Amino acid sequence: MVGVSTGLEPYFSFSYFRSGRLGKFIEVKADIVQEYLDQHPEADADNLPSWFVAAMELAPEAHADVQCVIQRWIDSSISKTVNAPQGYSVEQVEAVYERLYKGGAKGGTVYVDGSRDSQVLTLKAEENVVTTTFKEKTKQHVVLLDTISDLRSTDVTIGSEVGNTCPVCRKGKVKEIGGCNTCSNCGTQLKCGL
Statement to judge: residues 124 and 83 lie in one domain: yes
Examine residue 112 and state whether it is found in any structural domain, yes or no.
yes
Range of the domain at 179: 155-194
The per-residue pLDDT for range 76-121, each reduced to its tens digit, is 888 788 888 888 899 999 999 999 999 988 888 898 887 766 565 5
Statement to judge: residues 130 and 159 lie in one domain: no
Statement to judge: residues 66 and 121 lie in one domain: yes
Statement to judge: residues 130 and 78 lie in one domain: yes
Statement to judge: residues 53 and 103 lie in one domain: yes
Q: Give whole-number Cα distances, 162 to 71, 99, 192, in Å.
A: 21, 28, 11
Instruction: Determine what percent of the chain falls in helix, strand and coil, rounding each to the nearest 5.
Output: 20, 20, 60
Closest CA to 25 of 115, 116, 126, 118: 126
If phi > 0 it is left, if psi is from -120 to 50 it is alpha, else beta; for residue 113 that is beta
The per-residue pLDDT for range 52-76, each reduced to its tens digit, is 888 888 899 998 998 888 888 888 8
Statement to judge: residues 108 and 187 lie in one domain: no
Give the chain's mean pLDDT: 76
Closest CA to 32 of 8, 5, 57: 5
Examine residue 128 and state whether it is found in any structural domain, yes or no.
yes
Report pTM.
0.56
Examine residue 10 and state whether it is found in any structural domain, yes or no.
no
Statement to judge: residues 87 and 124 lie in one domain: yes
Query: How much of the chain, in percent, has pLDDT values that exceed 70?
Result: 69
Closest CA to 8 of 147, 99, 105, 120: 105
Statement to judge: residues 113 and 169 lie in one domain: no
Closest CA to 25 of 112, 115, 111, 119: 119
Please count the structural domains in the chain.
Answer: 2
Examine residue 106 and state whether it is found in any structural domain, yes or no.
yes
